[in-house]
């Protein structure tokens, strides 16, 4: 399964260039969204990425003036005077560097994984982590039991009360890969859990047919197979999509072919 806890220990051969704070911190990182495409909007109407700070369990309201954030442990972006109470505080990881109304850090984060540091006044590091691979509009934060998990419904500025799971099922593998094939070619799918598929471009869901182990392509000139794995306790996998063509004329034209697959309703709806 593709599960992830934020890394808290650097490799043994990497000497930290920052100093860890002593004692327990009253403030902690609570939730992160690094690939915000359709979620919360900042004051510019943009879907900037964001993170949250919250009080540690049992901590009292804390003044945040002088606290800071960074993505390298050194170049600290300092928070202005704000009191952190029961509600988490949202900070945009937008690279806009603003502290007048909404808070915008002077750095952004990489969806493929990035470092994130929380600094106490004076510069010592209260918390540091390396984020795992992030996905579009998916939050990564502290679940109710305290462990880190993925949320399909992020909650900017609020407690993490929506459903969370520790990771995603591994995407299935289709063989052979998409491309120009002979009519009647049999495509097999391998992976963990239950594999479900569609042939109309739609996203495979739990009510779609289970992949029968092998599917023959070539009944039409173009076949699109989308397969997804479902494993108990994990979020469904990312979708594996392959397009197969049995066209006899296109391969010899020298033209590069790109197949774009989309949910049907994203292309053809009344709106």
Cβ distance 63 to 120 under 8 Å? no
Q: What is the average per-residue pLDDT within 145-156?
A: 95
- Which residue in 5, 108, 101, 6 sits closest to 50, CA to CA? 108
Paired sense of beta strands 115-119 and 68-70, if any = antiparallel
Of 93-97, 108-112, 252-256, the poorest mean pLDDT is in: 252-256
pLDDT attached to residue 265: 77
Cβ distance 7 to 19 under 8 Å? no
Kindly report the backbone phi and psi dihedral angles of residue 251, in degrees, each rounded to the nearest multiple of 5, phi listed first: -55, -30
pLDDT attached to residue 4: 63
Query: How does residue 9 score in pLDDT terms, banded at 50, 70 and 90?
Result: low
Query: What's the CA gap between 117 and 54, in Å, rounded?
Result: 14
Q: Degrees (nearest 5) of the Cα angle 165, 24, 158?
A: 40
Cβ distance 192 to 169 under 8 Å? yes
Cis? peptide before 176, omega within 30° of 0: yes
3-state secondary structure 83-116: EECCCCEEEECCCCCECCCCCECCCCCCCCCCEE
Query: What's the CA gap between 209 and 26, in Å, rounded?
Result: 49
Is residue 28 scored above 90 in pLDDT?
Answer: yes
Is residue 220 scored above 80 in pLDDT?
Answer: no
Query: What's the CA gap between 108 and 97, in Å, rounded?
Result: 10
Q: Give residues with Cβ within 8 angstroms of 213, minimum separation 6.
A: 188, 189
Beta strands in 89-239 (DSSP E): 89-92, 115-119, 125-130, 139-142, 148-151, 164-165, 167-168, 173-175, 179-180, 185-190, 194-198, 214-217, 222-230
**Mean pLDDT across the chain, nearest whole number?**
91
Q: What is the average per-residue pLDDT within 239-268?
A: 83
DSSP letter, residue 173 = E
Cβ distance 247 to 227 under 8 Å? no
Q: What is the pTM of this model?
A: 0.84
Query: What's the CA gap between 143 and 151, in Å, rounded?
Result: 9
């Amino acid at each position: 399964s593709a599960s992830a806890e934020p890394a808290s220990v650097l490799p043994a051969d990497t000497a930290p260039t920052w100093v860890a704070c002593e004692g327990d911190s009253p403030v902690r990182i609570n939730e992160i969204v690094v690939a915000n495409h359709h979620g919360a909007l900042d004051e510019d109407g943009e879907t900037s990425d964001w993170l949250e700070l919250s009080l540690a369990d049992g901590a009292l309201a804390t003044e945040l003036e002088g606290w800071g954030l960074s993505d390298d442990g050194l170049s600290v972006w300092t928070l202005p005077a704000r009191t952190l109470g029961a509600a988490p505080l949202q900070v945009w990881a937008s690279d806009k560097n603003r502290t007048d109304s909404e808070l915008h850090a002077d750095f952004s984060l990489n969806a493929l994984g990035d470092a994130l540091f929380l600094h106490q006044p004076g510069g010592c590091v209260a918390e540091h982590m390396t984020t795992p691979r992030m996905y579009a509009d998916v939050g990564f934060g502290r679940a109710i039991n305290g462990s880190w998990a993925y949320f399909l419904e992020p909650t900017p500025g609020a407690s993490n009360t929506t459903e969370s799971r520790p990771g995603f099922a591994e995407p299935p593998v289709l063989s052979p890969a998409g491309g120009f094939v002979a009519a009647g070619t049999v495509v097999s799918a391998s992976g963990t859990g239950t594999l479900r598929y569609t042939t109309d471009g739609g996203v495979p869901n739990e009510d779609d047919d289970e992949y029968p182990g092998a599917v023959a392509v070539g009944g039409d000139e173009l076949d699109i197979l989308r397969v997804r794995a479902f494993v108990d306790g994990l979020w469904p996998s990312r979708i594996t999509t392959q397009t197969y063509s049995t066209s006899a004329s296109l391969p010899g034209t020298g033209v590069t072919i790109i197949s774009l697959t989309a949910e049907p309703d994203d292309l053809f709806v009344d709106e």
